[in-house]
Structure 1
Amino acid sequence: MFTGIDEVDWASLRHAYGSAEDVPGLLRGLASADPAERETALDGMYGAVHHQGDVYDSTLASLPFLLALVASETVPERGGIVDLLVSIGQEGEERAGDDTRAMARAAVRAGAEVFVRLTRDPDAEVRRAAAGALVRFHDAPARVLGLLRERLTVERDDRVLLALAEALGVFARRHPGQAAGAVELLAAQSAPPFGPGMRLAALGQLADCAPDRLPEDLVPTVVRLLRERSKRRPCRTGEPDRPETHTLVGRLRRLRPSDEEGSQLLRTLHSALGGRVEERIALLMGQLSSPDATDRCNAVWMSMGLFREWRADYRAPVELIGAQLAAGDDRLREAALSVLEGLLDLAAPAADHLHALVVSRPDLWVRQWEYGAPTLGTALKSLALCGDPRATPVLAQLLAGPVVPNELGRVAVELGAAARPLAPALRSRLGQVRLDSPDTYDRAAPLLWALGALGDVESVPQVLRLLLGMPDGLRSREAVVESAVRALGAFGAAAGEAAPVLRGLLDTGPAVAAAAALWAVEGDATAVLPVLLRELRGERRGRAMAAEALGRLGPAGRPALADLRRMTAADDLWQRTAAACALWRIGGDDETDVAAPVLRTAWAANPHTRPTVAECVTALGPVAAPLHDLLRAELASPRRHQASLDGYGSHDIADDVRLLRLCRDGVSAR
């Protein structure tokens, strides 16, 4: 297995953390008789040699030895190594001038004959992993399909059978000219006499590669099969005892759903159905109504993928997710809370369930951590984030107590007018923030955000205390100053006493924020314009912020028009967008021909610019009518503006809800 391993100059090769001289030890560890050593070695391969999916020269050098390891029946748990090979060899994004991924794929394909033998391996986990590897890397489609057909007739392990169904789906997508045979096999497996697990797996693959072969009563069929499967759900047998290791592999294994296979089956089907949102909602409702708590838990976890990608009426499934909070199952409750927290006001249908949990479990109001500051309990946080005023008295109790999570201020803002009774306590807390502490920013920033959003002008003295009292050497001083300045700007003319302090900040790091706040407080461009023009012509970092601030000046910012026109041709998309918005807001109709095309291009080029563009269009009113078609198209789109299939952001739904609100305001502006 390791012939020639010592002849490789590993020290000259690299992985994610530098020299690859430790790689021979990791490779040998994969063949160890000690399960803990094997898991640690596999974790090391993923963590360094294949870090976050990257491929290095050391990864390429490892491939011959990995292929030799999986070929040897003396090596335990080779399924995990096959999975590693699949991950290394799969298609991915290639960087310009870096062909290591292509070389990795070629190397795995060159050794793909080993996967033929592994489909008959005595170890079921190896057979499971080999099915996917075979279809992805072997160059003889007809032979591959024949092998899959053969294995379907002789295989008896349920997990391997599910992997074979998935392999058939991959085959149909990779070889469309020869997909008919794979589709026929999947269609046969989706019907009796096959068991519910196999039928669900086949339906999931058909939904992706041959949706015309799905039954008309797809959702009722799937729900029925799911419940049949739950009644005879197999126990996990045949897996070796697993060591408790402090590795990423070990942590991921412990975080798996208790019914990982059922979760994967339904996730595959949901993903394949894509934009067929009504069917997915009906399917989710069926899952959430299951008498089996594990099925409901799986449904809760996969619901977020639907919610964050597609716009629809989710009131019914959200209410059912809320109902899980009373199920008495800690795992189910935590899953439901995790989803509801990310929905913000879309979680309103679950508000009664959230409130019931908050009232009955004061011990859940604050979450203490072994390391780090305490945070708001998820139930209370979710209740506040969905804008339910019943969260206000509970937050007031926390503000009056000894432990106040730092995030409370930012969360309270989502309550809107219902948070106003909290202003005196928030103001008092701001007055208690130490001025020389390492956590000054963490404590002060959320409070400043909340008080600014609530327009609490009585807090101006506490804000000035921060601005004037923090020592110069404090690491987070500039960030705190900027937050404080933004709060003063939010108070507007009522913060007139802060004007001298703001003027004193015009030559400091937060100069742009200070200038914007001074304009909001005094409305006099005399002191503000020179600062913003200086920043606009300065370093790249502050140019977009300066342009945004200039836009708020409206016609008073006309001296910046020439600079802003030049900036609309900048290399950076965000600078072009900020400049075009400012140009239009300052120059009005006269700048439409320059600004509108820039913003239209930005809208199409990067969906993340859309809230900025929509806010600009809304502020301009009828002047921005040439872009109203973009807003109307966004409002009509069923897909969230920045949803992606390969990532997840905690603010995706919040940003989309804000965008839709801006679009509605923009098209109705007169």
Structure 2
Amino acid sequence: MYDDLDFAATGMPDLLRGLIDPDPAVRGMALDAMRNVGDLDDRMLATVPFLLEVLRTPGVPGRDGIAELLASIGAAGSWPFEVAGDDDDLGATVARIGQARQLIAGGDLLGLAADPDPWLRAAMPPLLTIREDDPRVAEVFTSRFGVETDGDARRALLDGLGRIAARTGDAGIVAHLLGVAAAAPEPSVAAAALIAAARADPVRVPLDGAAGLLERAYAEPAGFTTETVTSAVPEARRAPHAARMIDGLTDALGPRVADRVAILRELLRSPHADVAGDALLGAIKLVERWRGEHAEVIRAIGRRLSHPDPRVVGHTAATLRCWAPLTAVVAEPVAAALSTLDALPWRDGLPAWTVPSRSEPPGLHPTLDVLARLADERALPLLLTALELRQRPPDSGYLLARYPRHAERIVAAMLPVLSAPRAAGRHGIHVALQAFGVTAAPAVPWLLAAPLDDDAATTLGRIGPAAAEAVPALRAAATGDDARLAVAAAGALWRIEGSPAVLPLLAAHIDGPWGTAALAAIAELGAAAADAAPIVATVLGAPDGDRWRPMHAAVALWRMIGDADRTAPVLTAAWHGNPHTRNAIVAAVAGPSPAGPFTAGPLAAALVPLLRAESVDPRRYGARDRGWSSNQVTNDERLLAACRAALAGTGGVPA
């Protein structure tokens, strides 16, 4: 009935009836359908009074699921992240959340914390914590914990107390939780209390013996079930009620990076798959969201590369692939795992170090990816072989760009790929050729043999004067109707000829859809583009939600005329308003302007405090509890290195 989870087709009345159906399977599918609505619209809001009435009716099946659904509806901050649309849409949804929370808070639900149904009792604390301003909730949780016998309900009460303490800063609740953690006979209950306290006040939480406590919690007898310990490896989970406690505690400890490392290092060595799997998740959260000394944790993860199950090896390498340069400490076990794959026979025309796909060209095995991101010489022969495959892995070019010392050899292997304009991974090939600069000059005839596009134009520009034969084609493209290609071609002409005659061509696109690229190209002209300063300055205050265009305008103005007074405020606003601009800002302003070097000028005085604050911030820039980027760690490590290098060059510039 609910297999497709199609909310619009199923209809609200049927879904509501399904939530209280005697059949648990029907209830589960209806609940999934309600959860997959994706936005809190008026129809969903209208169900809240009905759901509250059902919740208060004894004996109705599925009340625990309804409590969980209501908690998700009223949870602050959960629904708005799923809203697609303009600010009006978001504002309307937030308003509906407020209405839902008011309905739930006025629903007279406190008595359900003592309901005869243990499943409902375990589901109630997240819902009751919506009444964050009601002191009775904490009192009910505390008194109920003293008489509660159900383990799930006891742990839920502790979690609820931790959420209240985190919101209110109630030190008395934290002290109570720490007392439970020290005295509870059940390891999982003690661990739950520790986690709840850490969410409220991570600094106060004692961690002596924490790893052992978690090991005992995962070993508690609770019957047998099978769950997915990691996204790739199904294993027996011994105590389902302890699932995610490891990453729950370590994540809650926040900036206590060294303590988190100590716990995870020990648990990653566990022979039990459930412990090691959850410790891996905790390690992922640590490395990807927090800065610090992660070598021990990464080495502990690297030991999984010798596991006999190839799925474990693949999943482990996939975890490591996005952490360069931190993965240098596990280069040897990664290389050993890759060597094992390379020794296997090919299958269906593909080596074992590729990953077949039904609808796409094959990918590269994560072990090869990890090693190549480190520019390790042992990966190079396999990447060159990848270029020759009939089904070429798209990432090959991007990874080969990391080997400029072997540019001549790599360029020669890439030339045949350029003859196939729609070849898989062709953009990556261009990225590599651009990285190799003048060494990629043999590619010029191949690039000109096909219709010119923006990738090819950019590549020709990066080759520089050695691509002079491309000038006629680039001039035609720079005045053509394709704005994206025109900007790329004009920038390429500057790099090849060095003539400021391209400035009007670039300036014509500042206000267009490729204005950011045009501004970046103008910045390369530097003082030669000074005549365009008034036009560029008009962009500084232009409305721009992601800050990229004003940031590029500020960088261009600095490079053109060294105007720190107008540049610094815009760059500072971009730095705070969009953390993803930070690498570009540091890279762009670290060099000299017509007014003098960054290291001694007024722009340095304005930006050095930002660089210093960044260099000591324990949190990775742009890190969020929701969302993820494959370049998050690499870009952050690059930013840290750039900030430190810039600071080292500023000498006595005051903070």
For the criterion TM > 0.5, the same-fold answer is yes
* Cα deviation, residue 553, structure 1: 0.5
DSSP 3-state at the match of 2:76: coil
In structure 2, the CA distance between the partners of 1:658 and 1:61, relative to structure 1 (3 Å rule), is same
**Aligned to 1:117, what secondary structure does the other structure show?**
helix
The answer for the alignment partner of 1:545 in structure 2 is 517
2:289: which partner in 1? 309
Q: How does 1:27-46 map to 2 (within 5 A)?
A: 27-46=16-35
- Which amino acid in 2 is paired with 1:32? D
Q: Is the 8 A contact 1:392 1:418 kept in 2?
A: no
Q: 1:194 aligns with which of 178, 181, 185?
A: 185
The Cα shift of 1:429 comes to 2.2
The residue that corresponds to 1:478 in the other structure is none
Q: Is the Cα–Cα contact under 8 Å of residues 567 and 579 in structure 1 kept in the other structure?
A: yes
Q: 1:464 aligns with which of 448, 457, 472?
A: 448
Matched-pair contact (CA < 8 Å) for 1:301–1:339: no
**CA 1:264–1:442: 2 relative to 1, 3 Å:** same
Shift of 1:505: 0.8
Of residues 122, 128, 138 in structure 2, which corresponds to 1:134? 128
Cα separation, 1, equivalents of 2:114 and 2:336: 53
Alpha-carbon RMSD across the aligned residues, in angstroms, is: 3.0
Distance 1:141 1:206 in 2: 18
- Kept in 2: contact 1:131–1:163 (CA 8 A): yes
Letter in 1 for 2:102: A
Match of 1:85 in 2: 70
- Change in CA separation of 1:156 and 1:441 when aligned onto 2, cut-off 3 Å: farther
Does structure 2 conserve the Cα–Cα contact (< 8 Å) formed by 1:204 and 1:266?
no
The residue aligned with 1:585 is: 559
Residue 507 of structure 2 corresponds to which residue in structure 1? Answer: 533
Q: Is the partner of 1:505 in helix, strand or coil?
A: helix
Alignment of 1:430-449 (within 5 A): 430-431=418-419, 433=420, 435=421, 440=422, 442-449=424-431
* Matching residue of 1:246: none
Once residues 252 and 167 of structure 1 are traced to their aligned partners in structure 2, the CA distance between those partners, rounded to angstroms, is: 28
Equivalent residues, number: 610
2:146 maps to 1:158: no
- For 1:360 and 1:530, the matched residues in 2 are separated by 57
Match of 1:297 in 2: 277
Change (3 A) 1:42 1:587: same
CA distance in 1, matches of 2:144, 2:609: 55
Name the CA distance, whole Å, in 2 between partners of 1:41 and 1:261: 24
Report if the CA contact (8 A) 1:136-1:170 is conserved. Answer: no
Q: Equivalent of 1:222, from 210, 235, 238?
A: 210
Opposite residue 299 of structure 2, the aligned amino acid is E
Amino acid at match of 1:208: R
- Secondary structure in structure 2 of the residue aligned to 1:136: coil
Question: Is residue 55–residue 88 contact of structure 1 (8 Å, CA) maintained in 2?
Answer: yes
CA distance in 2, matches of 1:46, 1:419: 52
Residue in structure 2 matched with residue 563 of structure 1 by the alignment:
535
Indicate yes or no: 2:107 matched with 1:111. yes
What residue number does 2:604 align with?
A: 625
- How far apart are 1:184 and its partner, in Å? 4.3
Q: Is the 8 A contact 1:387 1:416 kept in 2?
A: no
Distance 2:138 2:355 in 1: 53
Cross-structure match for 1:474: none
Deviates more, 1:366-375 or 1:54-63: 366-375
1:592–1:172 distance in 2 versus 1, CA, 3 Å: closer
SS across alignment from 2:146: helix
Q: Give the match for residue 12 of structure 2.
A: 23
Query: Which of 544, 548, 558 does residue 574 from structure 1 map onto?
Result: 548
Q: Percent of aligned positions with the same letter in both sequences?
A: 32
Q: How does 1:298-337 map to 2 (within 5 A)?
A: 298-329=278-309, 332-337=312-317
Distance 1:86 1:253 in 2: 30
Distance in 2 (alpha carbons) for counterparts of 1:361 and 1:206: 46
* Compared CA separation, residues 602 and 174, structure 1 to 2 (3 A): closer
Per the alignment, residue 576 of structure 2 pairs with 604
Instruction: Indicate conservation of the 8 Å contact 1:618/1:667, yes or no.
Output: no
Deviates more, 1:22-31 or 1:80-89: 22-31
* Contact residue 515 and residue 531 of structure 1 kept, 8 A: yes
Q: Where do 1:72-471 residues align within 5 Å?
A: 72=57, 75-92=60-77, 95-96=90-91, 99-113=95-109, 116-117=111-112, 119-122=114-117, 124-137=118-131, 140-142=134-136, 144-176=137-169, 180=172, 182-211=173-202, 213-215=204-206, 218=207, 220-236=208-224, 258=237, 261-329=241-309, 332-362=312-342, 364-417=352-405, 421-431=409-419, 433=420, 435=421, 440=422, 442-455=424-437, 456-468=440-452
Contact 1:427 1:451 in 2 (8 A): no
Q: Which moved more, 1:29-38 or 1:554-563?
A: 29-38
With over 3 angstroms needed to count, the CA separation of the structure-2 counterparts of 1:42 and 1:420, relative to structure 1, is farther
Range moving further from structure 2, 328-337 or 202-211: 328-337
- Residues 1:639 and 1:171: Cα distance change in structure 2 (over 3 Å): closer
In structure 2, C-alpha distance between the alignment counterparts of 1:233 and 1:382, rounded to whole Å? 39
Hey, what's the Cα distance between the residues in 2 that align with 1:370 and 1:119?
Answer: 53
In structure 1, how many angstroms separate the alpha carbons of the residues matched to 2:613 and 2:203? 29
Alpha-carbon contact 2:579-2:622 (below 8 Å) kept: yes
Please state how far the C-alpha of 1:25 moved relative to its aligned partner: 1.9
Residue 150 of structure 1, CA deviation:
4.1
Per-residue deviation, 1:105: 0.9
Partner residue, 1:64: 49
1:532 partner letter: L
Cα separation, partners in 2 of 1:66 and 1:334, compared to 1, 3 Å: farther
Q: For residue 473 of structure 1, what is the aligned residue in structure 2?
A: none
User: What CA distance in whole angstroms lies between the structure 2 residues aligned with 1:514 and 1:491?
Assistant: 13
Unaligned runs of 5+ in 1: 1-15, 243-250, 469-480
Contact 1:207 1:273 in 2 (8 A): yes
Question: What SS class does the counterpart of residue 619 from structure 1 fall into?
Answer: coil
Write 1 or 2 for the structure with the bigger share of helix: 1
Shift of 1:176: 4.2
State how far apart, in whole Å, the 2-side matches of 1:360 and 1:129 are: 48
Which 10-residue stretch deviates more, 509-518 or 570-579?
570-579
Residue identity in the other structure for 1:576: P
CA separation of 1:347/1:105 partners in 2, compared to 1, >3 Å: closer, same or farther? same
The verdict on how the C-alpha distance between 1:329 and 1:68 changes in structure 2, with shifts beyond 3 A counting, is: farther
**CA separation in 2, counterparts of 1:164 and 1:330?**
41
